Amino acid sequence: MPLKRWIGPGKDDVAPALAAACGCGTLAARILCARGIATPEEARAFLQPGEELHDPFLMADMDKAVAAIEEAMAAGKLIVVYGDYDCDGITSTVLLYRYLEERGASVAYYIPDREEEGYGLNRDACRTLRENGAGLVITVDNGVTAFEEIAYLGALGVQVVVTDHHQPQPSLPEALAVVNPHRADCPYPFKELAGVGVAFKLVCALEGDSEGSDTLARWADLVCIGTIADIVSLTGENRTIASAGLQKLQESENPGLLALLAAAGLAGRPLAAQSVSFGLAPRLNAASRMGCCEKSVDLMLCDDPAEAARLAAEIDQANSRRKEIENRILADIGVQLSGCPALLEDRLLLLWGEGWHRGVIGIAAAKLVERYGKPVLLFGIEKGSAQGSARSIPGFSIIEALRASAPLMEKLGGHPLAAGMTLPAERLPELRRQLNDWAKAHHPVMPQPLLRLDAALAPGELELRQIEELLRLEPFGAGNEPPVLLLPAVKLTGIESIGNGKHLRIRFLFGGKNYAAVWFGMTPERLPYRTGDPVDLAASLSLDEYAGQKRLSIQIRDARPCRFDQEAYFSDLTRCMRLRRGEELESAEAEAMIPQREQIATLYRAIRAGEALPDETEYFFLRFGGKGFGFAQAEVALCALREAGLIGNQEGCLRVIPAAGKADLEKTEAIRVLRARAGGQAAPLSGKE
């Protein structure tokens, strides 16, 4: 697993003055400084409970949208809210449907099936809506690029109002109104609303609530869930929406939401944005991924507690099934990569499988991005058609890369960090080749995954009272991430497996005091550190409350050996990847990569000792790299030992293979190739893992 590049923390010279001017703690002020908030005016604006909401009529076409909807209601026309199957689209649909129903409108809703229909308007659905008497269709969280479908509805005699937050094209569809803050001609001052945020603004306009406060008090819970789930920036109006919504969720009397909170284990507990991100949103999304999106809508429209509990239980079961399918896909991928580890040398990882669930591959791709630190594209194949989902890392626009291969594809859409596409399955090898060629041309050195540190803590600052100050910076989410703090030079005192072996509890000594932290997704076998090691920890901090008592909660995000030289590591990593791909190296670079015999012996003895050690160069480098060798030397040493038949992979771990006689490592191709390149010759490295 490639290591993340740690960025920061930066200068925070103005933090004491900022804290004094705003009445916040010094630690909170230091984090504000790290995020570019350096004046008292900026800090006070950020720390206020909520800013004023903008007048909805500042949005282009909002007046036309309101006029069209009011006219349709007055005429008794059937209004259909046409939504989307993700959490943003679902909450948008429920919000507008419930509001229009309360206004006495003749109203229905339609959400396309993820598997059968895909995203947005489609001609079959348009025809069905007309046959069922629709007079006006209002899109929520979609529609801004549905030119043909909206024209088709018009030809059928159905009027359309579009509300959306996705990027429009230079021209707009021919609807009665297109409400989207991203329109080039839209003067609305805040552009980062989610789809449910735009739908909320439409409700404000229909209510004549220019300030929005009364309407937000009524609908904040729904708007909050969709906003947080869609990972839009929690700044500006979104920060106001999220703050109000989290408070309303804790006081909710909605049977559906109460049942969902109970199913997620959140009933009666303090709620933060992460409660939505990791508790509520995955369950609502899982229902649509597993083909029962209507259950999520029904749940949030439900007024009967018993029925709500039944629906919430079904949604929770769908989420469990989603996890099982995700684990099976990841297991299939593990088998593929074991059989062809050279795939991991590609700049982008592109994999496919028969029957991989199209509603789940996006989640699996995101996990692989975290694991391998590179863009990942996964495709489920059915009847010769490959439907894919891509996830990327900051600095590499996956949609730009895919657009360069657009002739291969039948459908394509997305943004820099995520995309979806469909193409014939036989074109996948060519797509893999073209994407990696594009990446090589545009990113000779691939962007590295980053971890931004907000502040470095002194021992006395890791205290409950200091952490309580961080609560003033909530809600945390996109654009206002939970702070990541550096705990330098801690001493590990205990390592304990928890969660059925899936996670770790780490105990450590910091400034003479003992602390415990959780490291999710880390196992004892993969941890390259031992009790007694001095390490630097990157951690997120929060407060847990149990039986009325507040406790400090520490979640480890990453760890490094003290005095870790990350520039040397990333230089070595880049050289190793170039070597694996057969790309050129300077002679001095090649010479520096050749390990000394004692360095090879160090690694061999560690493997021979009998302990199960993961087959990952990063592991050996972090655990034994302090013994005088760098990452590249560890990589070449392990490669040479494998090639010489002295070590091998057994169930993911490296083991010594008994050998007759003495192996000459100088004769291995791993060493000979580097010797040749150090002498000015060029030859591709073979004998890959």
- pTM for the full predicted model: 0.85
What string of DSSP letters covers 473-512?
GPSPBTTBPPP-EEEEEEEEEEEEEETTTTEEEEEEEETT
Amino acid at 175: A
Per-residue confidence (pLDDT) for residue 681, from 0 to 100: 46
Per-residue confidence (pLDDT) for residue 687, from 0 to 100: 36
Amino acid at 390: A
Q: What is the mean pLDDT of the chain?
A: 90
Residue 685: pLDDT band with limits 50, 70, 90? very low
Separation between Cα atoms, residue 535 and residue 533, nearest integer Å = 6
- In this structure, are strands 385-391 and 418-424 parallel, antiparallel, or unpaired? antiparallel
What distances in angstroms separate CA 335 from CA 338, 353, 454, one per listed residue?
Answer: 5, 11, 39
SS3 per-residue string spanning 622-659: HHHHHHCCCHHHHHHHHHHHHHCCCEEEECCEEEECCC
The three-state secondary structure class of 507 is strand
Give tens-digit pLDDT for 12-41. 778 888 888 888 888 888 999 888 888 888
SS3 per-residue string spanning 75-94: CCCEEEEECCCCHHHHHHHH
Q: Is the pLDDT of residue 673 over 50?
A: yes
Token digits of residue 528: 């390259």
Amino acid at 344: L
% of the chain residues with pLDDT over 70: 97
Give tens-digit pLDDT for 341-377. 889 889 999 999 999 998 899 999 999 998 899 999 9
Give tens-digit pLDDT for 261-284. 999 999 988 888 989 999 999 999
Token digits of residue 282: 């995955």
Separation between Cα atoms, residue 547 and residue 535, nearest integer Å = 33
Count helices and strands in the chain by DSSP H and E runs: 25, 21
Per-residue confidence (pLDDT) for residue 1, from 0 to 100: 66
Give tens-digit pLDDT for 622-635. 998 766 789 999 99
Residue 51: pLDDT band with limits 50, 70, 90? low
Separation between Cα atoms, residue 153 and residue 580, nearest integer Å = 55
Per-residue confidence (pLDDT) for residue 286, from 0 to 100: 86
Separation between Cα atoms, residue 155 and residue 363, nearest integer Å = 39
Give tens-digit pLDDT for 452-491. 999 999 888 888 887 888 888 889 988 888 999 999 999 9
